[in-house]
Each structure stands twice: as structure tokens, then as C-alpha cells.
Structure 1
Amino acid sequence: MLSRTKKEYLECEFNNVTSELEVEVKIEALVIPMRDNFKYLGSIIKGYGKIDADVAHRIKVGLAKWRLASKVLCHKKVLQRLKGKFYGVVVRPTVLYWAERWPVRNAHIEKMNVEEMRMLR
């Protein structure tokens, strides 16, 4: 069962050919709005395949997890080895969630490395 008020669609562009026709998607009399991106399972999906917004979002989520765990990660009495394990189990998987499907570029890798080094410092 679909909610009539919560429907949206994303047009995927699989080639560089742009369509000049504006298509209006309807279900009965209700016009369905088009979006240029949406969030699915914690990742931002774009119709034209770019992942810049998704990489920035994953970095932002990783920083939020790091801030939540910063009392443990920055505490002087916690062993360095334990901090490393905690970071590897909690923060890094949050940033790299679903990254195996990304068509990464060197700029994305560099951004993620910069943020990781900032957190580790």
C-alpha cells in the first residue's frame, strides 16, 4: 500500500543525452513531484550518479559519531590501543557505510583522509 502524499520519484540519467521533454508523472489525478536526490538506507542517491553529496554526508555522520564518543576517545586514562579499536569499530564503519558501491575519485579519498586525520589528532 502506497501513501499518496509521500510519493516522489528520481529520474536517473544513464547517458549524457538530455531530454527536452518535461514528463509529468501521475497516479490517477495526483501529480508526483520529481526530486534530484533522496536518502536511501543512510546514503544520498543522485540521479546523475555523482557521489559528492553522499561523501560529504558520510563524513558529517562520522564526525557526529566521533563527537558522541569523544569523551572516551580523548580521555587520558583510556589506553591508546583501546581508543584505536573503538574508533575502528564505531566511527570508521559509519563513514564507510555502503562505500563499496561508490565510483570514487581521488578527491573523495583525499577528503575522507583529511577528516580521518582530523579526528585521529
Structure 2
Amino acid sequence: MRLEEWRAALKMKGLRICRAKTVYLHCDFVGVINDEELQITIEGQVVLQVMKFKYLGLFVPSDEDIDSDLAHRLQVGWCRWRAATGILCDGRLPAKLKEDFAGL
């Protein structure tokens, strides 16, 4: 299996796969492979399959549904906006400071 070859190559370089944190996401958009037939193992231990995971701030789903990622990004955007408006709309702060903050 290619995963075992990859693990062995990493081990030769002094790296190892943390099996406790390793999960996999199977994307089968055309429905050809049955998920029950697909089982991934590393050194005999079964790797947990997940339906979505977060990678570089993006939620990657196993299907074509991106609604959860879109909702998450909108929520983060509104949180940042609320944090910024508290500073940008404060009349007690000098305009130069506000310009510097807005430039971040």
C-alpha cells in the first residue's frame, strides 16, 4: 500500500506519522466506491475516517456541500468587523491611530 511506503520513507528521514491525530477524508463525488469497503491502516491500526476537516482555515467536506464552510467564514468576518468597529467608531481615538489600525 502506498501509505505504508510513505510512512517508511518518512521514518527513514527521521519523521513519523502521529497515528493518534491522523484521519482521512474520502471524497467520492460520483458514488463509485462504497465507503464500507474502504479501510485505511497504518502499521495495522485503522485510520479514522471523517466527513470534514479544517485545513489552513478552510473546512473541506467529503461531499460537494460547502454551506458549513461558507457559514464559518461569514461568522469569522462578522466577528472581525465587530472588533474593528469598536475602535474605528470611537471618537476619543485620534484619526492617525485609526488609520494605522485599519491598515492591518
Residues 1:62 and 2:80 aligned together: no
- Which structure has greater helix proportion? 1
Q: Max radius of gyration: which structure? A: 2
The structure-2 alpha-carbon separation of the partners of 1:21 and 1:70, relative to structure 1 and needing over 3 Å to count, comes to closer
**Runs ≥4 residues deviating over 2 A:** 17-21, 73-79
| CA–CA separation in structure 1 for the residues paired with 2:55 and 2:72 | 12
User: Which amino acid letter does the alignment assign opposite residue 3 of structure 1?
Assistant: C
TM-score with structure 1 setting the length: 0.57
Query: What is the identity percentage for the equivalent residue pairs of Structure 1 and Structure 2?
Result: 33
TM-score with structure 2 setting the length: 0.65
Q: What do the CA deviations read for 1:37-67 (whole angstroms, capped 9, x no partner)? A: 0001101011213211111111111122122
User: Which amino acid letter does the alignment assign opposite residue 12 of structure 1?
Assistant: C
Residues 1:11 and 2:26 aligned together: yes
| CA–CA separation in structure 1 for the residues paired with 2:52 and 2:22 | 13
- Give how far 1:10 is off: 0.2
Structure 2 residues not aligned, in runs of 5+: 1-15
Structure 1 residues not aligned, in runs of 5+: 91-121
Cα root mean square deviation, aligned: 2.5
| CA–CA separation in structure 1 for the residues paired with 2:89 and 2:77 | 16
